[in-house]
Structure 1
Amino acid sequence: MGMGDCLERFCEEETGRSDRENDLEDGELNQRVVRVLLRDGGAVERVDLSRCELRFLPEAFGKIQGLLVLDVSHNQLEIKKTRKRVPAGVVTMKTSVGWLLSATVVIPDSLAGLQKLEELNVSSNLLKSLPDSIGLLINLKILNVSGNRLNALPASIARCSSLVELDASFNNLTCLPPNIGYGLLNLKKLSIHLNKIRTLPPSVFEMWSLQYLDAHLNMLCTLPPEIGKLANLEVLNLSSNFNDLTELPETIGDLPNLRELDISNNQIGALPDTFGWIENLSRLNLDQNPLVIPPKEIVSNGVEAVVEFMLKRWVNIIEAEEKRSMVEANKQGETGWLALGTSVLNYFASGVSPSVTGSPGLRKGEVSMDP
């Protein structure tokens, strides 16, 4: 019988247990799991115990030294049964590549022992915080902490310099660490939707590798002009920010690779004049905004029509500005000559010659001439 069959059989046995059996001591449950896991001589790299109605996380997982991936998601690991924290043996497996604990409650500081960890999924739990030691996971590439009760992310997360994907959606975040972007220069995908974030720190826009930013269903009231630094950004979702987002910065036009933009369900009345510069835009959602610029008839014709309209509008603005500058320059020139003529007349009217002779008191009509 293969490892997959063993685990499947174990799950069936656990699902059919009586209420009395659910009260088994941790030690007995641990032994039952270990017998399954060690049946192939301990040569287990990936363990999937999801949807097995497990009530406890056995300490014996620490004995599986070759474990690469552990998934115990969608179980019944209760808060009152897991207050003693994740077993210490689990966080000392140096060979781990992925650690998927989607139903645990506490993440210990000893998590830092997984120096080779590349993927960590602790989604869909009741976590209220993450340990500062998470910043020691310098080889971590994918981090999923979505679907928890996090009020903040630790500042140390900025030290996870290998991160490529970060999903912190569906939490209670009100802000991001001020320094988060300075260390995550390799991050390509950032998902922070379904939170309560009001502003994005400027450091976010130092993530020059960022290609995907999803911040919909937050409380964003403004988007910093630094957004224009994200030259590699391809997808931007700012929809449904509780009617707080009223405008986009002019620097939105500095995103040459932007392909998808969703700003629906906001209070945006006009697109920035530089919007026509986004030449690679292929998907655009402007629904449920009090838009005046561009008008509805243009929006109804699709993204190409919107970009074309805004580009023509930009050209017209530039031409009008050039004409205004020329008229202003001409007025200044005419005003200069008029001022000089008025000055001359004033001299004559006062009985003083405009000639500089050093002779005071010349009467009207007299000319001073040097001998």
Structure 2
Amino acid sequence: MGVAICLHYAVKKYQNRETKENDQGPESGQVDKEISPAENDHESTFLFHPEQYKDHVDVEHIKLTKNDPVHESGQVDKEISPAENDHESTFLFHQEQYKDHVDVEHIQLTKQPEEDQSLTIFEEINQFKRLKTVTIIGLKLDDTSLSNLFQCTSIRSLKISNCQLASIPRSLANLKDLEILDLSRNNLTTLPARPIRSLPCLKSLNISHNKITVIRDVVKKLQALQHLDVSYNAVGEIPYEILEMENLEFFSCSHNKIARWLDPSNGERKASTCHLASLNMSSNLLAEVPQNVKELKNLSVVNLSDNKIGENIPDKILRQQISELFYLPSVSTNNELEDLPLVLCFLPSLTKLDLKQNKISSVSENVKSCKSLSVLDVSHNRLKEIPSQVIRLPELRVIDASNNQISSVSSLRKDESSVVEDVALADNCLSHFPEALIQTKSLKKVDLSNNNIKEIPETIMDMPKDVKLELKGNPIIDPPLEVCQAGLETIQAFYEDLTTASSITQCLKTLFLGTYEAGKTSLVRVFQLDRSNLTKTGERTDGIEVAELHLSAPNTSDITLSVWDFAGQETYYITHQFFLSAKALMLLVVNLEEYDSARFYSTCGNWMENMIAKVGNPVVIPVATHIDKLEPEEVEPRIAEDFDKNLESRMPDHLLLCVAKKLGAEWERLAIHMGFTKANVYKFKCDHLYNTDQQILAMLTTWRDRKGRNATRQELQRVLIEAGVDVISCL
């Protein structure tokens, strides 16, 4: 049996499991369109035709739903309905009609709670010898009506929900064949223990959403019970007898006041024969993991979220408790556990482990004992690495470790292998492409987005070509960004071209960028002609001019430059971004004669931001021209004291992302200090749900855009220091 341990921050709801006999099933359950009195009629339509009853004597469930009550003839009979919206077994409101329905096997009557209507069940109901299923929802019932109903000893399924019941008559014990009992959403404070324990066939008991405080006397001797739901009550403790219920498979006691699971009253603990597979004890008052849980060897789902586990227990003692249980309890972010060792060696059938939204900083090596684990979710934690013992688990197919602080993934040894198919490592601190992923030949999908990877290694040629690789949000330099954005197949083709070409010409793409009349074309001609040749007005560049320039130097190989001379008119700016490349050398040409501090953004800063936005980390050489028109004492201040200073202070996205990854939960305080409102902070969160790094990055980039040219490293350092945030090192 597979196991799933759930640690979600939200409490999961369990669905009721329908109990069926192996040798029974609906017969003649197909809708007969010929019989239907109206086009929309369906299910059990034979009820309109008494002559057909003999053909359906073995059915166990009857369902007939109409917008209005219908007569046998198929005509709407308004006289039968006590209210306009009544439907289904409305004859229950009319004692004189009972004699016409004595052969029904199913009764269903549902009213909306706000209608506050009562139902009286008359003693003639005891003539319904074939009645097997009763569903009554939202109607007030008194004890006399219940006692009359309980005379129908053939009932196998009974649901009386939201009927404002304060007590249950002891005559319930008459229903010896009852298998399903649902008394949910009433006002019960106690249950008649003896009558319920006198139901030898009872398989499912739902008493959720009541006011019950004790269940011990009820569960005793219910050996046939498979499904027990006592959630949303006021139960304070779990009786030990739960462990003695051999057939119990599902037990939910969430949203109570449970603080402990009792030991046997006689002090003699026996080996549990309980086959419980699903246990939900979420939203209670547990201060520690119940020791009785370790007796449940067949558990497949455990939920202990939203308790007080670990709140007042020293870490050393807590770890010992976990070790003794030989399993990891489900703990949500509302608990106080941190850095838990995964002592899972006694759960060899574990298939899914969900640890998201906690504060876990390491994965215990004991996880290697989970030989059947196929899905591991450790997202939104504080992990710094993925150990190799995780990757090489023999059945592990999916790993989600996104939104952590992971900087490395341990590589596999030559004698080790992995069957992992899906790896999510987005929003971490990886600066290198993990070699372990290249070694994993079973991969089908890898998400490395929003890390700090600058280079994709040539060994990526060994990765299967059909892997879906996501690399967005990384400051990649090599291969060129446009190659990486095209996917794994294009990256591999790029490296294949480099390695298989018979001869490779060393050609460097060189871009000459800058404002109009900065001197770009004249500079290109200097390289071409090896002498100064100023550009005349009619010779200035329109659009882009491309040429080759061959350079040679002593003791070096010849180099060919592919020179791209871009027009400096503002009309052409929008086209420049399509030709920028991380593999290109960019010369930013600035007319120093016309330069001053006020023009820095238009002559240089704007160009730098556009290159960073497109390429990530561009290789840029600033070139100052028209120096000959300045006095010598004017050159140095403009270059060293103003131009270089402003250029160095720019704030690229990858630097802001680095700050975002280090900020953590204190970012909201920083946002308020930066002048953002609580509404702004809320919008950052809504725009990037469950991704704290992207929330912080959105806040920082918005701050940078607001500050404009004043958004410098020095300014950000000042704001961080004033806010008391210690992440200055990454700047």
Same topology, TM > 0.5 = yes
1:133 corresponds in structure 2 to 324
Residues 175-233 of structure 1: CA deviation (Å, up to 9, x unaligned): 1113322x122211111111111123332233122100111111111111229955311
Could you tell me how far apart the structure 1 residues matched to 2:329 and 2:417 are? Answer: 21
1:235 aligns with 2:419: no
Asked if structure 1 preserves the Cα contact closer than 8 Å seen for 2:213 and 2:234, the reply is: no
| Distance change (3 Å), C-alpha of 1:171 and 1:314 | same
Of the candidates 46, 56, 65, which is equivalent to residue 235 of structure 2?
Answer: 56
Residues 34-69 of structure 1: CA deviation (Å, up to 9, x unaligned): 65x68x95532122344x2x3434434735713211
Residues 56-95 of structure 1: CA deviation (Å, up to 9, x unaligned): 344347357132111233x253xxx62xx23346994622
More strand by share: 2
1:43 aligns with 2:224: yes
Of the candidates 272, 279, 284, which is equivalent to residue 99 of structure 1?
Answer: 279
Could you tell me how far apart the structure 2 residues matched to 1:107 and 1:293 are? Answer: 51
Of the candidates 463, 471, 474, which is equivalent to residue 278 of structure 1?
Answer: 463
1:295 corresponds in structure 2 to 480
Structure 2 counterpart SS, 1:47: strand
1:196 aligns with 2:196: no
2:351 corresponds in structure 1 to 164
- RMSD of aligned Cα (Å): 3.7
1:179 corresponds in structure 2 to 366
| Distance change (3 Å), C-alpha of 1:126 and 1:238 | farther
Q: Identity percentage over the alignment? A: 20
Q: State the aligned residue count.
A: 289
| Distance change (3 Å), C-alpha of 1:112 and 1:314 | same
Residues 225-258 of structure 1: CA deviation (Å, up to 9, x unaligned): 22995531111011112xx221123342222221
1:328 corresponds in structure 2 to none
Unaligned 5+ runs, structure 1 = 16-26, 324-371
Structure 1 residue 288: deviation in Å?
A: 1.7
1:10 corresponds in structure 2 to 184
Runs of 4+ aligned residues of structure 1 deviating over 6 Å after TM superposition are 320-323
Could you tell me how far apart the structure 2 residues matched to 1:119 and 1:286 are? Answer: 35
Aligned amino acid, residue 175 of structure 1: S
Structure 1 counterpart SS, 2:437: helix
2:521 corresponds in structure 1 to none
Structure 2 counterpart SS, 1:156: coil
Could you tell me how far apart the structure 1 residues matched to 2:455 and 2:362 are? Answer: 27
Could you tell me how far apart the structure 1 residues matched to 2:433 and 2:234 are? Answer: 49
Structure 1 residue 145: deviation in Å?
A: 4.5
Aligned amino acid, residue 184 of structure 1: C
1:314 corresponds in structure 2 to 495
Asked if structure 2 preserves the Cα contact closer than 8 Å seen for 1:58 and 1:87, the reply is: yes
| Distance change (3 Å), C-alpha of 1:321 and 1:251 | farther
1:261 aligns with 2:441: no
Structure 1 counterpart SS, 2:261: coil
Could you tell me how far apart the structure 2 residues matched to 1:270 and 1:3 are? Answer: 66
1:110 aligns with 2:292: yes
Could you tell me how far apart the structure 1 residues matched to 2:185 and 2:351 are? Answer: 34
Structure 2 counterpart SS, 1:13: coil
Asked if structure 2 preserves the Cα contact closer than 8 Å seen for 1:108 and 1:131, the reply is: no
Q: TM-score, normalised by structure 2?
A: 0.35
Asked if structure 2 preserves the Cα contact closer than 8 Å seen for 1:144 and 1:166, the reply is: no
Asked if structure 1 preserves the Cα contact closer than 8 Å seen for 2:344 and 2:366, the reply is: no
